[in-house]
């Protein structure tokens, strides 16, 4: 089963244009920026991590605060445009003529809302863990993901805290799986030693 995760980004997003020409633009993820997730491990998103999702035209929604009832755009309708640039995962939302979108744009212009986040799942083979023997935290490299949403968020710190809880569960699962494999290997060694 794949684990869905969210990551928040404290990076300014902006509303460009006026009226029907207004667009919400920004980056939902940054490449090659190492982050400590919850104090448990380090993580970096590598260039190209979103390339397959974009190429496959995955059905990704743009939301406000990851709330599925506050849809701002969607890739399959052409109202959410995703691309990769040197910085990371870039998005452009063509917002609807709704109260939610109008209020959000006003809040963005005032500077009250300026964060972005994304919801993803690393695909099989889409992440790489490196363990260090010198006490450094493990490094998780994100190489390839399925993408579910990009969100404009009010409070990136809250979204990040939520992501850390989910990430901690994923990390704990990783440790449990590793311990199970280690235990199985030890049991085989003991069995082989007993047979000798």
Q: What pLDDT does residue 167 have? A: 42
Task: Write down the pTM of the prediction.
Answer: 0.74
Q: Where are the beta strands (DSSP E) in the chain?
A: 5-9, 14-16, 23-30, 35-37, 41-45, 61-64, 67-74, 80-84, 88-93, 115-122, 127-130, 139-142, 145-153
Note the pLDDT tens digit of each residue in 151-166: 999 876 434 433 333 3
Q: Delimit the domains of the chain by residue range.
A: 5-195
Q: What pLDDT does residue 138 have? A: 93
Distance between start and end Cα atoms, the chain: 40
Q: 105 vs 59, 79, 111, CA distance in Å? A: 24, 16, 10
Bridge partners, 113 (sequence order): none
């Amino acid at each position: 089963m794949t684990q869905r995760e969210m990551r928040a980004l404290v990076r300014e997003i902006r509303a460009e244009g006026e009226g029907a020409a207004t667009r919400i633009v920004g980056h939902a993820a940054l490449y090659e920026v190492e982050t400590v997730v919850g104090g448990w491990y380090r993580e970096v998103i590598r260039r190209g991590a979103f390339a397959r999702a974009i190429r496959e035209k995955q059905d990704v929604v743009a939301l406000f605060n990851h709330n599925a009832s506050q849809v701002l755009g969607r890739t399959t309708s052409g109202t959410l445009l995703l691309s990769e640039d040197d910085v990371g995962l870039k998005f452009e939302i063509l917002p609807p003529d709704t109260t939610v979108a109008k209020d959000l744009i006003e809040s963005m212009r005032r500077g009250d809302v300026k964060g972005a986040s994304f919801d993803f799942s690393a695909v099989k083979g889409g992440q790489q863990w490196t363990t260090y023997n010198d006490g450094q935290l493990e490094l998780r490299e994100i190489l390839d993901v399925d993408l579910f949403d990009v969100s404009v968020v009010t409070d990136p710190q809250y979204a990040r805290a939520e992501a850390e809880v989910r990430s901690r569960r994923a990390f704990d699962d990783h440790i449990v799986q590793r311990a199970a494999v280690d235990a199985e290997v030890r049991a085989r060694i003991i069995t082989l030693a007993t047979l000798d």
